[in-house]
């Protein structure tokens, strides 16, 4: 269920970004978004150590211990496919898309703090120039 929610989120974000890019056609955007979302989910599953095996079944116990690891034959170990180097960019993309709202929120907080400092600095400069103008006017009026 959790994977389905992540898949839908990634699919919608990639679909909207592909539509904004206007590179492919309408139906091609949907196919590309499905493929990217599927590869992102696959990469995240491998990143979080869920192994993907070939079509042949491997008899591996639910919990792998040192004793059960020795029982797995070398042939069975060779049958396992590790696609992590190929799926790493998709894993990073998925994690970025899922963390993007938090990243944007933190950036907005930092930016608002900078805006307050800039606003205060600008306000202080304006007030200082007005004070100088007022003192210059008073000096000119006295003369």
Domain map (residue ranges) of the chain: 2-50+83-142
Give the pLDDT confidence of 61-100 residue by residue, as tens digits: 455 555 555 565 666 655 556 677 888 899 999 999 889 8
The rounded percent of the chain whose pLDDT value lies above 90 is: 23
Rounded Cα distance, 93 and 5, in Å: 16
pTM: 0.56
Rounded Cα distance, 133 and 123, in Å: 15
Say yes or no to pLDDT of 59 above 80. Answer: no
Contact between residue 72 and residue 31 where contact means Cβ atoms under 8 Å apart: no
Give the pLDDT confidence of 19-42 residue by residue, as tens digits: 988 888 888 999 999 999 999 998
Beta-carbon contacts of residue 9 (< 8 Å; ≥ 6 apart): 97, 98
Three-state secondary-structure class, residue 23: coil
Say yes or no to pLDDT of 7 above 70. Answer: yes
């Amino acid at each position: 269920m959790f994977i389905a929610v992540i898949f839908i989120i990634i699919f919608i974000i990639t679909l909207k970004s592909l539509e904004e890019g206007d590179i492919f056609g309408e139906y091609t955007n949907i196919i590309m978004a499905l493929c990217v979302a599927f590869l992102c989910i696959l990469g995240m599953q491998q990143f979080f150590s869920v192994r993907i095996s070939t079509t042949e079944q491997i008899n591996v116990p639910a919990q792998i211990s040192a004793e059960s690891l020795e029982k797995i034959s070398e042939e069975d170990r060779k049958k396992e496919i590790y696609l992590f180097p190929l799926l790493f960019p998709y894993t990073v993309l998925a994690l970025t898309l899922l963390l993007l709202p938090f990243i944007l929120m933190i950036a907005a907080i930092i930016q608002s703090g900078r805006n307050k400092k800039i606003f205060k600095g600008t306000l202080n400069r304006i007030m200082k120039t007005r004070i100088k103008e007022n003192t210059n006017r008073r000096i000119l009026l006295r003369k």
